[in-house]
Amino acid sequence: MIDQESPRHDLPADFQQVRAFSEQLCQPLAIEDYGLQAITETSPLKWHLAHTTWFFETFVLKPFLPGYEPSHPGYEQLFNSYYNSLGSPHPRERRHLLSRPTVAEVYRYRHAIDRRILDLLDSSRCPAQALPRIELGLHHEQQHQELMLTDLKYNFAQNPLLPCYQPGQRPLLHSSELHFTPQPGGTLWIGHDPAHGFGFDNEGPRHQVLVAPFALANRLITNGEYLEFIQDGGYRHPEFWLADGWHQVCIQNWQHPLYWHHQGSEIMEFTLHGLQPLMPELPVTHISYYEADAFARWRNARLCTEFEWESVAGSVCLPLKPPDLAWLHPACAAPASTGTQQLFATAWQWTQSAYAPYPGYRPTAGALGEYNGKFMCNQQVLRGSSCATPVGHSRASYRNFFYPHDRWQFTGLRLARDL
């Protein structure tokens, strides 16, 4: 399950920081906001807070603390996400019905488990095997921190009042010309290198692939460019669409990205900062794989493969700052830059690669083997990271994955071309 040589340098401090940031994300909420779940794919924020705590209790305290008694026997089912080898999880689509435990009880649960984990880390009896589990739990919680924001955004969007998560500071807007940079390709090493720290098991084993020469766009596609696709009949012409994508267009009546709204002659976009006028310069986001692929065909281009993307991103500096809570939305590319931009910390980028195991991949034995491996079917790989991705959770080898029709994440697109 875990692909790493050693845990973080200061695990207790990192543990406290990650756990505190989850609670910081909840500070703007009213108590009524914690229980929202508009669709099966989203979860209430109260459930996220409890599930990430259940993870530490289940995979660290229970196996490594002799005589440990669970906080509540019911929590083992209520806050189990999909680990069927640990019992029968509470149905995902019914998480919003869990009015009990209360929000206050969930916070007490979090803080009680936090104390037990920190006591374990401070103990000379802490088994070495527990440290990678705690490290994994922190990265798992960072995944949920991003989900907390995207789930809340979707849930808020179902309210006719279109409530604001918190006020935002509108970014500076500018345009950056789109161009394609030739890339040499070649026989390349792909996947996570354990010598570089933590990696999920689906990022390895590291292996070689043959990549033909290609060209990659210097930045993501903008709202304005995507609007041209719409105005040219992009959602009305089946020739641009994969068969499954066209089926989704027809049955879902897709006409534009998720969260776009027409108010008279003006197009608005719902954001975590409320309803905003659509800004043409910003990257388009909240689109499905099908929409990204159709746009690429319309532009006589294609989506890149995950290997092409990684071959370019491997030499790019990773984000050092946490998400900007003053503007939780993809930002513009820098107009003066000549390099490849927006690979990280902007929007997840759909690739044309199916989510499948790398050669030699073997999931970890036991319940933790359910983390990634059993989802390697019928999904597409996304690369990069988004404006909501926590700092320290971006790397060139990271393989995110969603179903091709999913739109509620911060998903965008980058074009590629053959040479």
Checking DSSP bridges between strand 348-354 and strand 411-412, what pairing results, if any? parallel
The one-letter amino acid at 66: P
Between residues 138 and 324, the one the model is more confident about? 138
pLDDT at 373: 86
> What is the number of other CB atoms lying within 10 angstroms of the CB of residue 342?
23
What is residue 9's predicted lDDT score, i.e. its pLDDT? 64
pLDDT tens for residues 323-359? Answer: 888 899 999 988 867 789 999 999 999 999 999 999 9
DSSP 346: B
Confidence band of 1 (pLDDT split at 50, 70, 90): very low
**Residue 8 — very low, low, confident or very high, per pLDDT cuts 50/70/90?**
low
Cα separation of 159 and 362, whole Å? 44
What is the spatial distance between Cα 181 and Cα 331, in angstroms, rounded to a whole number? Answer: 21
Domain ranges of the chain: 11-157, 180-418
What is the model's pLDDT at position 282? 96
pLDDT (0 to 100) of residue 243: 98
Q: Does residue 405 carry a pLDDT above 50? A: yes
CA torsion sign, 102 to 104 to 107 to 113?
negative
pLDDT of residue 397: 97
| pLDDT above 70 (res 6) | no
**Length of the chain as a residue count:** 419
Looking up tokens 């345009």 gives 175
Mean local confidence (pLDDT), 291-305: 98
Beta bridge partners of 208: 189
Mean pLDDT of 138-154: 98
Query: What pLDDT band is residue 2 in, cutting at 50, 70 and 90?
Result: very low
Q: Identify the CATH assignment for 180-418 out of 3.20.20.80, 3.30.365.10, 3.90.1580.10, 3.30.450.40.
A: 3.90.1580.10
> Which tens digits make up the pLDDT trace of 41-85?
999 999 999 999 999 999 999 999 989 999 999 999 999 999 999
180-193 per-position pLDDT tens digit = 999 999 999 999 99
Q: How many Cβ atoms sit within 10 Å of the Cβ of residue 127?
A: 13
Residue 365: the pLDDT is 78
- Pairwise CA distance, residues 167 & 170, whole Å: 9
Per-residue pLDDT at 360 exceeds 90: yes
Summarised one tens digit per residue, pLDDT across range 101-137 is: 999 999 999 999 999 999 999 987 889 999 999 999 9
